[in-house]
Amino acid sequence: MTDDLTHSLSVLSKLIGFPTVSDQSNVDLIHYIMAYLDEFDVKYHIFPDSSATKLGLIAQIGPNVEGGTILSGHTDVVPIAGQVWSSDPWILTERDGRFYGRGTCDMKGFVALALAAVPQFVSAPLARPIQLAFSFDEEVGCLGTAPLLTALGAHFPKAETVIVGEPTSMSVVTGHKGGLGLVTRLHGKAAHSSRPDLGASAISHADPLIQWHSARQKQARTSSYANGFIPPFSTVQVGTIKGGVALNTVPDLCVFESDIRYMPHETASDWVDEYRALVGVVEEAMRTEYDDAHIELEVTEDIPAMLPEPSGAAEGLARQLTGDNSDNCVSYQTEAGHFQAAGYSTVVCGPGSIEQAHGPDEFISSNQLRQGQAFMERLITALC
């Protein structure tokens, strides 16, 4: 094992220099990766998003057979707007053994380590392939995962295991909650507030729907499971709400957004179907006041949970590579749920701490980079 981080840091510095916030293009970053892979004659396939302003990339090193390992990472990062940084977030900066920059931890550090290991991957006598899968738009609902999975199935032999390199401090995470984002739009009828009988208040009718969130949260608290999640139950909240134009006008519109983080033993349809049934009841009540009243329900985010696989190939491989035998589950979502739903044995394991993600002065430590680098070297041995 080598402790020399020179090459890994060189690649990471390049990646940090691309400001790939989710609302911006990542094409320049992908072109850099393509040129880098070309140096080693590595086969790869690129695929665009629907607007053709973003690209994903899949590469393969080793024999063209099934049973390999996917190293999965996203190329987009969260915004820096409104944050005060001690150094330029788009320039990798080292201070006291920490490397600062937007995306160092989440999750260009892992992507850089995988790319830096390519020369070793290429020269190793791999019996099973290593596939690199780099997506876009993970930070805005894992929108790039579906086209990535389609491209994987169309152009590459199926891997046995997937390591999603989100920051876990190199601990093996075997499960995470699912995520639902909902937007509810209630359309009523405006009227003067002195004659509410002539209108249909969208805000008043939103009340039972909003109260459902509070009631379901209280109910969920009584159904906790001792399985490593913090908190050990599903969470439900209304995050934003808008409605009305003036205090003396019956509001004809109310819009609110819901965030539901559900446990792996539950499904998105469990939650959506229950809520949709209540929406139907409220809509009927609105129409007794105004025939054209209606409610729109939009699912804006649907990220599957990742279930622990106690005897799964990915868990066994990750524990072999890290020596970590602890049980770890997290409440945030990753692309791992999509991989698992597509039939891949999947875990989450990568350098850096989630505590450093998304905030100002995001960093990854040299120790975490060394652990991640050793992980890549051990992966070669496991696949030879």
Q: What is the pLDDT of residue 35?
A: 98
- Type of residue at 71: L
- Which residue numbers in the chain have pLDDT < 50? 1
Q: Do domains 6-175+305-383 and 178-303 have the same CATH topology?
A: no
Q: CA gyration radius for the chain?
A: 24
Go through the chain and tell me how many residues it has.
384
Catalytic residue of the set 3, 4, 23, 76:
76
Give tens-digit pLDDT for 308-320: 998 899 999 999 9
Q: What is the pLDDT of residue 215?
A: 97
As given in the structure block, the two tokens for residue 112 are 């850089």
Q: Are 305 and 262 in contact (CB under 8 A)?
A: yes
Comparing CA positions, the residue from 221, 241, 216, 242 lying closest to residue 231 is 221
- Look up 324 and say whether it is catalytic: no
Q: What is the pLDDT of residue 228?
A: 78
Q: Distance between CA 315 and CA 109 in Å, rounded?
A: 21
Q: Distance between CA 20 and CA 54 in Å, rounded?
A: 10
Q: How far is CA 322 from the centre of its chain?
A: 23
Q: What is the pLDDT of residue 182?
A: 98
Q: Distance between CA 20 and CA 77 in Å, rounded?
A: 6
Cβ-in-10-Å burial (0-12, 13-18, 19+) of 245 comes to exposed
Q: Distance between CA 359 and CA 101 in Å, rounded?
A: 10
Helical H segments across 57-197, by residue range: 109-116, 118-123, 145-155
Q: What is the pLDDT of residue 310?
A: 86
Domain 178-303 fold is: Alpha-Beta Plaits (3.30.70)
Place of tokens 């819901």: 258
Catalytic residue of the set 106, 137, 138, 362:
138
Domain boundaries, the chain: 6-175+305-383, 178-303
Q: Distance between CA 175 and CA 146 in Å, rounded?
A: 20
On the CB side of 108, CA atoms within 13 Å amount to 34
* 159: DSSP letter: P
Q: What angle do CA 47, 50, 51 make, to 5 degrees?
A: 105
Domain 6-175+305-383 fold is: Aminopeptidase (3.40.630)
Q: What is the pLDDT of residue 222?
A: 87
Q: Distance between CA 117 and CA 373 in Å, rounded?
A: 8
- Look up 259 and say whether it is catalytic: no
Q: What is the pLDDT of residue 1?
A: 46
Q: Are 207 and 364 in contact (CB under 8 A)?
A: no
As given in the structure block, the two tokens for residue 220 are 């969920």
Element containing residue 209 per DSSP (H, E): helix 202-221
Global pTM value: 0.90
| Rounded (10°) angle between helices 202-221 and 268-287 | 150
Give tens-digit pLDDT for 3-58: 789 999 999 999 999 999 999 999 999 999 999 999 999 999 999 999 999 999 99
